[in-house]
Homo-oligomer: A and B are copies of this chain.
Amino acid sequence: MSESTGRPATLQDVAEAAGVSLATASRAINGSARRVKEPLRLRVLEAATRLNYQPNLQAQAVARGRTSVIGLLVHDIADPYFAEIAAGVSEEAERHGLLVTLASTQRSPEREILHLAGLRAQRAQGVIIAGSRFDDDALAARLAAEIELFRGSGGKVTLISQDIHDADTVRLENRAGARALAVRLARLGYRRFGFLTAPRALITSTERLEGFLEGLEAAGGGEVVATAVAEFTRDGGYDAMTEILESGPEVDCVVAANDVMAVGAMSAMRDHGVRPADQLAVAGFDDIATLRDLSPALTTVRFPLLEVGRMAMTMLLDEAEGTRVRRVRGEVIVRETTPARS
Contact = CB atoms under 8 A, between A and B. Distances in A.
Interface of A: 1, 4, 6-8, 52, 54-59, 61-62, 67, 69, 72, 76-80, 82-84, 86-87, 90-91, 94, 99-104, 106, 117-118, 120-123, 145, 149, 152-154, 234, 260, 263-264, 266-267, 270, 276, 288-291, 293-295, 306
A293 B306 contact: no
A101 B103 contact: no
For A62, A77, A103, A289, the residue with the greatest tally of chain B CB atoms inside 10 Å of its CB is A77
Contacts of A260: 290
Contact of A120 (B7, B54, B123): B54
8 contacts: A56-B121, A58-B123, A69-B101, A78-B87, A94-B104, A234-B289, A263-B293, A266-B293
A152 to B, nearest CB: 6
B153 A54 contact: yes
Contacts of A91: 104, 106
Contacts of A57: 121-123
B104 A77 contact: no
Chain copies in complex: 2
Nearest to A262: B293
Given A54-B117, A80-B83, A234-B289, A122 B99 contact: yes
For A57, A58, A153, the residue with the greatest tally of chain B CB atoms inside 10 Å of its CB is A58
Contacts of A76: 87
A211 to B, nearest CB: 25
A58 B290 contact: no
B77 A83 contact: yes
A52 B149 contact: yes
Nearest to A69: B101
Contact of A61 (B55, B58, B264, B294): B58
B55 A4 contact: no
A289 B78 contact: yes
Given A62-B58, A101-B100, A86 B78 contact: yes
Nearest to A53: B121
Contacts of A104: 86-87, 90-91, 94
A202 to B, nearest CB: 19
B266 A8 contact: no
A341 to B, nearest CB: 22
A77 B234 CA distance: 20
A290 B62 contact: no
